[in-house]
């Protein structure tokens, strides 16, 4: 079984057998560097699980680009509230590198319960995990210093610092590019 299928099983709380029941709901999709998986203002009709590559989630605040997250191997790419509530996306997902995804449509996501009896419970747990991750990010922005946020994120995904533009990483961490540079220089000495 591929790593991405293991990530989907883990993210959705499925057993291997349950995943076999819905594996056909997922379709491979490739996105070239610079192209978009999702654009602000589009209805969100699919959720992607990143197999390879990096997608940057960003939005515009007062005409300034703000990076919200980077979806790398094993992560989900979706504007979750827009996906769940049939709304237009408030964010963009752009490929920083060439990206390979397994994508499930909104229609197939809603059909999982026809194949997996306990889907209602699993779906609630999946959504709770998503909001728990969001809550942890909010707390880290409120409680940690810029250097602590940098260290925490670097420890989670060190290779990203070689593949994504540092100004985008700084934006995601809620700091200026200069602050990020200062922290990096301090730690390399």
pLDDT in tens, 115-127: 999 999 999 999 9
Q: pTM of the predicted model, to two decimals?
A: 0.90
Q: Is the pLDDT reported for residue 15 higher than 80?
A: yes
What 8-state DSSP symbol labels residue 40?
Answer: T
Give the Cα separation of 179 and 142 in Å (integer).
17
Give the Cα separation of 146 and 176 in Å (integer).
10
Domain segments of the chain as ranges? 3-118
Give the Cα separation of 123 and 121 in Å (integer).
5
pLDDT in the model for residue 55: 98
Percentage, residues of the chain above pLDDT 90? 85
pLDDT band for 5, please (50, 70, 90 cuts): confident
pLDDT band for 187, please (50, 70, 90 cuts): confident
Architecture of domain 3-118: Sandwich (2.60)
pLDDT in tens, 27-69: 999 999 999 999 999 999 999 999 999 999 999 999 999 999 9
pLDDT in tens, 155-172: 988 989 999 999 999 999
Average pLDDT over residues 133-142: 89
Distance set, CA 36 to CA 16, 54, 140 (Å): 31, 11, 28
Percentage, residues of the chain above pLDDT 70? 99
In this structure, the dihedral spanned by the alpha carbons of residues 121, 125, 127 and 129, taken in order and rounded to 10 degrees, is 180
Q: Is the pLDDT reported for residue 2 higher than 90?
A: no
Give the Cα separation of 170 and 150 in Å (integer).
9
The three-state (H, E, C) secondary structure of 41-63, written as one string: CCECCEEEEEEECCEEEEEEECC
């Amino acid at each position: 079984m591929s790593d991405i299928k293991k990530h989907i099983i883990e993210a959705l709380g499925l057993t291997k057998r349950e995943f076999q029941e819905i594996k056909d709901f997922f379709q491979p999709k490739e996105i070239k560097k610079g192209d978009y998986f999702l654009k602000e203002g589009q209805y969100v009709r699919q959720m992607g699980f990143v197999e390879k590559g990096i997608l940057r989630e960003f939005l515009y605040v007062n005409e300034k680009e703000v990076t919200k997250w980077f979806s790398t191997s094993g992560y989900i790419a979706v504007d979750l509230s827009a996906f769940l509530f049939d709304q237009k996306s408030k964010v963009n997902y752009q490929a920083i590198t060439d990206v390979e995804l397994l994508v499930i449509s909104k229609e197939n996501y809603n059909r999982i319960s026809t194949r997996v009896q306990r889907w209602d419970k699993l779906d609630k747990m999946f959504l709770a995990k998503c909001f728990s991750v969001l809550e942890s990010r909010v707390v880290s922005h409120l409680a940690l210093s810029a250097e602590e946020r940098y260290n925490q994120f670097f420890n989670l995904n060190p290779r990203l610092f070689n593949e994504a533009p540092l100004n985008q990483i700084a934006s995601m961490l809620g700091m200026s590019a200069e602050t990020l540079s200062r922290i990096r220089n301090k730690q390399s000495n």
